[in-house]
Amino acid sequence: MKPWHVEICDVTLRDGEQTPGVSFTLEEKQDIAQRLDATGVEVIEAGFPIVSVHEKEIVRSVSRMGLDAKICGLSRACREDVDAALDAEVDMIGLFVATSDLHIKHKYKKSREEVVANALTQCDYAIDHGLIVRFGAEDASRTPLPVLIDIYRQAAEHKASYVTFADTTGRLTPLEVATIIPELVRNVPVPIAMHSHNDLGCATANTIIAAELGAYQLHTTVNGLGERAGNASLEEVLVTLALKGGISRYDMTQIPALSKKIQQYTGIMMPATKPVVGSNAFAHESGIHIAAILENPETYEFVPPQLLGLDRQFILGKHTGKRALTHILTTFGYQLPDDEIMKVLEEIKKQSEGKCVISPQILQDIIRNETGKEIINGNSVREDTGCSGRKF
């Protein structure tokens, strides 16, 4: 398979910070930028320099870190925004202007021609001052396609290096993206950047289908942070690029720790069922599944946990089978006869149906009560207590 031709622009430090209630300190932004760089993303959007003097200083500090990734700053099509980005010493500027009829009418109260002409003037100014310009169309997904193509062509003529298609309100489905992106790729002479929001839960899917159909720069955030329902998830996009797009250059073993750091910094915890980084992403309880996985993990795992530097985990619960329990006991270095295993298994199912999660400590208690035997194996069993920590 020929690898997809893409790069990642992670916008956690900008759009991710626009998640209501989220604000990163200078040290946190530097740490996140360092971790993103270690993952191998090509562009890091470090912030919106015009927001405040402090924000500009933070973006400048990231620009001076000497990372391999290019550092980008967001900018409205305003001279003062561009100057702030220049002061922040970024490599690239995400210069954006709203292009839909709705925004033109209610935000700018000017003609589209005036709005676009001003934006192109700021594009020229940024390029003249040495910045790489990514010319963004805000609310592109509600802009008539012929109008959008014309604006993008003008931006290319003014030497913008990319143009951004922003689904600002997250209104598109993958089939709609699949009709739009090929038209842009065919008719616009510079690379397309895809910026998806998740209001319909389609941000990652829309980003992936755009990549498969020729979009080049993919915008992501760690844990899918962002305005309202968030943006395309970095971890989901990277795993899909690896497994579907033939791309192996990103170090995804960095992702679990990066995700946890973002949760720590934002206070926004991921649900257990979150793909890739959720606590259950590589956990199995079903006896049917575990029995097959013990023969060949591919039977019930498409995403190999080793890709993330993780191990699969088996959970004891009402769906557990004899083989799974036998395997878990064996990993502790103990064997029980079949009749005792079945007694233990029956009690595990009974307690699980009562909403008690079977932790290693509870498993030891069950074994003691059902067989009279003590199962203690040094540090192999975690010191979990109560109805929690059920993963083995």
Least confident of 335-339, 369-373, 387-391: 387-391
pLDDT of residue 258: 98
Statement: residue 392 has pLDDT above 70: no
pLDDT of residue 375: 60
Query: What band does 247 get if pLDDT is binned at 50, 70 and 90?
Result: very high
Average pLDDT in the 157-178 region? 98
Considering only residues 358 and 147, tell me which one the structure prediction assigns the higher pLDDT: 147
What size, in residues, is the chain?
Answer: 392
* Overall CATH class of domain 7-266: alpha beta
Considering only residues 387 and 259, tell me which one the structure prediction assigns the higher pLDDT: 259
pLDDT of residue 42: 98
Strand-strand pairing, 162-167 and 132-138: parallel
**231 close to 220: Cβ distance less than 8 angstroms:** yes
In tens, the pLDDT along 298-357 reads 998 999 999 999 998 877 778 888 887 888 778 766 678 888 888 888 888 888 787 776
> Can you tell me the distance from the alpha carbon of 64 to that of 58, in angstroms, rounded to the nearest whole number?
10
Statement: residue 174 has pLDDT above 70: yes
Statement: residue 219 has pLDDT above 70: yes
What does pTM read for this prediction?
0.88
Percent of the chain with pLDDT over 90: 74
Statement: residue 185 has pLDDT above 90: yes
Alpha carbon separation from 338 to 315, 323, 326, 345 (Å, rounded): 20, 10, 9, 10
- Per domain, the residue ranges of the chain are 7-266, 283-371
> Can you tell me the distance from the alpha carbon of 138 to that of 195, in angstroms, rounded to the nearest whole number?
10
**244 close to 208: Cβ distance less than 8 angstroms:** yes
Instruction: Name the burial class of residue 359, with classes exposed (0-12), middle (13-18) and buried (19+) by CB atoms within 10 angstroms of its CB.
Output: buried
